[in-house]
Amino acid sequence: MNNSMSQSLDDFIRGFTEAYKHQGRALLTQWDASWPSECETGDVNPDGMIQWRPCKRREKGDFGDTERALDMVFHDDIKTFYGRYWSEGLDASTQRGELQLLQAWNQDDFERLLQNLVGHVLMKRRLKQAETLFFAVTDDDDFIISLDNASGKVMLEQVGLEPEEILAESLAEFLAELTPVVQPE
């Protein structure tokens, strides 16, 4: 696991949870008995909401089957990004706008995420474009933020098109530049 990537992710998540704490707010999500997560804390409130917090996984996420199926090796940064924590999506902002870092809530969600990454890579191959791996959505549905699997650079990618704009030289650098966003109640 990439240490600077791990540290950048840990720092962002710490800042994210501290931003909520600083505003006296709890992280809440709609509770679903059929969709449990180690992130859940406390009891379900009368509105059907439950408190949660990002939590480190006991075992890092396994990408082996997906990599073998695609006959490719995922960049270490993306494996750290998706394989280190269980979490809801994490809201953040940059100078250019808001985004949400995607995360996996539980193992089923992780499996679904891997399937979506497979679909994305196969689409990129079909279009004869460089292989990218998405990790964030933007406030514009036509754009995602992805990692160029070969170089590790963070790219702004219009869905279906070759990414043209480099946002950061690495995922660790990109995370370090983000500001956590506390969503209104």
Phi then psi dihedrals of residue 7, to 5 deg: -65, -45
pTM, two decimals, is 0.94
The fold of the 3-180 domain, in CATH, is SMI1/KNR4-like (3.40.1580)
Domain ranges of the chain: 3-180
In the structure, how many helices (H) and strands (E) does the chain have? 5, 12
Counting Cα atoms < 13 Å in the Cβ hemisphere of 31 gives 14
Q: Residues 88, 30: contact at Cβ < 8 Å? A: no
- pLDDT tens for 69-119 read 999 999 999 999 999 999 999 999 998 899 999 999 999 999 999 999 999
Give the model's pLDDT for residue 1: 45
